[in-house]
Amino acid sequence: MANLSGVFRIGRDAEVRTAGTGDAVCNLSLAYNHGRKGEDGNRPAQWIDASLWGKRATSLAEYLVKGQMVYAVISDPHIEEFKKADGSKGIKMAGSVGEIELIGGGQRKSVEKKEPPKADLGDLGDDIPF
Tell me the pLDDT tens digit for each residue of 4-48: 999 999 999 998 999 888 899 999 999 999 889 989 999 988 899
Is residue 52 a contact partner of residue 91, using CB atoms and an 8 Å limit? no
Query: How many Å from the N-terminal Cα to the C-terminal Cα in the chain?
Result: 61
- pTM of the predicted protein model: 0.70
Rounded Cα gap, residues 56 and 26, in angstroms: 9
Rounded Cα gap, residues 4 and 97, in angstroms: 10
At 9 the three-state DSSP class reads strand
Tens digit of pLDDT for each residue in 40-83?
A: 999 988 899 999 999 999 999 999 999 999 999 999 999 999 89
* Topology classification of domain 3-34+44-107: OB fold (Dihydrolipoamide Acetyltransferase, E2P) (2.40.50)
24-33 and 69-83 beta bridge pairing: unpaired
Is residue 107 a contact partner of residue 65, using CB atoms and an 8 Å limit? yes
69-83 and 45-53 beta bridge pairing: unpaired
